[in-house]
Amino acid sequence: MKYLFLLFLLANWNSIYSQEFDKMSVFPNKEEYPVKSYSKENTWIFILAGQSNMAGRAIVAPRDTIANDRIVAINIENKIIMAKEPISFFESDKKGLSCGLAFAKELIKNVPDSICVLLIPAAVGGSSIDKWIGDSIHRNVKLLSNLKGQVSWAKKNGIIKGVLWHQGESDVLSKEIFNYKTKLKKLFTEFRRTTENDKLIILTAEIGMFRKNNSKEKVINKQIQQNVFLEPYAFLVKSKDFKSIGDDLHFDSKSQRMLGKRFAQKYLEIIRK
């Protein structure tokens, strides 16, 4: 029986492999709208901002497309839809699995059943810290203006509980790499001004350390850590044990799910204190 099973795997490996590793093969082909409604007070909103590792580039598996009536997102028209990966609607030819759904799944297991989590994508691949601060147009998105628009919409539909931020890969080779911490503080100040919340929780994760010569990545991560140490409402999530999809840049699926879980655990730790 085992021999026959092995023969089956060998005969069908190409088909199985393509289904497992074609990240677009299981993308939801239609949007679903929530049947259940939640009050504004019970809708916790989290903004997913930064660059490609927050937008998501990993392989989407079937389990990442199973909807939960307590987890919603928005589409490009700002309509509330059931949250399924990929969450981001930017860069349609590049998008993949992010940490968003994994974050929300872990969170709702540990908060009252009355709470709904609403995820708002605002991350755009390849965006540098300077482009965020300067409100530049990057890949057809005016970065800071887009986030401000999302915040304005969010305030009418729920309570903004925090920002999940992951960015820094685009600044690794910048001539101003040692000013990254100062720029990060400036941008986070702008996020708090935009949300009108001086105590806005911003969860930020380290960038990947995949390259053999990763001295520049260490500089970025050191400054991320220093910024978190200095800011009372910024918090750090570790990522040094994560793996890439093979390009030494983007987190793989397992790492994205773990990132989401760690973001949620950190948030829960904060609110319990």
Q: Where are the domains of the chain?
A: 43-272
State which fold the 43-272 domain adopts: Rossmann fold (3.40.50)
The pLDDT score that the predictor gives to residue 25 is 61
Share of the chain above pLDDT 70, in %: 90
Whether residue 2 is predicted with pLDDT greater than 90 in this model: the reply is no
For 163-195, letters b (16+ CB in 10 Å) and e give bbbbbbbbbbebeeeeebbebbbebbebbbebb
Taking the C-alpha atoms of residue 135 and residue 45, their distance in angstroms, rounded to an integer, is 23
What pLDDT score was predicted for residue 92?
Answer: 87
pTM over 0.85: yes
- Pick the more confident residue, 158 or 17: 158
What's the pLDDT band for 273 if we cut at 50, 70, 90?
confident
How many C-beta atoms surround the C-beta of residue 14 within 10 A? Answer: 9
Grade residue 15 by pLDDT with cuts at 50, 70 and 90.
very low
User: 244 φ, ψ to 5°?
Assistant: -100, 170
The residue type at 117: V
Residue 10 has pLDDT above 50, yes or no: no
Average pLDDT of the residues of the chain: 91
Q: Say whether pLDDT at 221 is over 90.
A: yes
* pLDDT exceeds cutoff 70 at 54: yes
Q: What pLDDT sits at residue 28?
A: 72
Give yes or no for residue 141 having a pLDDT over 50: yes
Sorting pLDDT into bands at 50, 70 and 90, what band is 24? low
Structure confidence at residue 7 (pLDDT): 43
Look at residue 150 in the predicted model and tell me its pLDDT.
Answer: 97
Kindly report each contact of residues 129-133 with a partner whose C-beta sits within 8 Å and lies 24 or more positions away, as own/partner. 129/167, 129/168, 129/170, 129/171, 129/180, 129/183, 129/184, 129/187, 130/171, 130/174, 130/176, 130/183, 132/167, 132/187, 133/183, 133/186, 133/187, 133/190
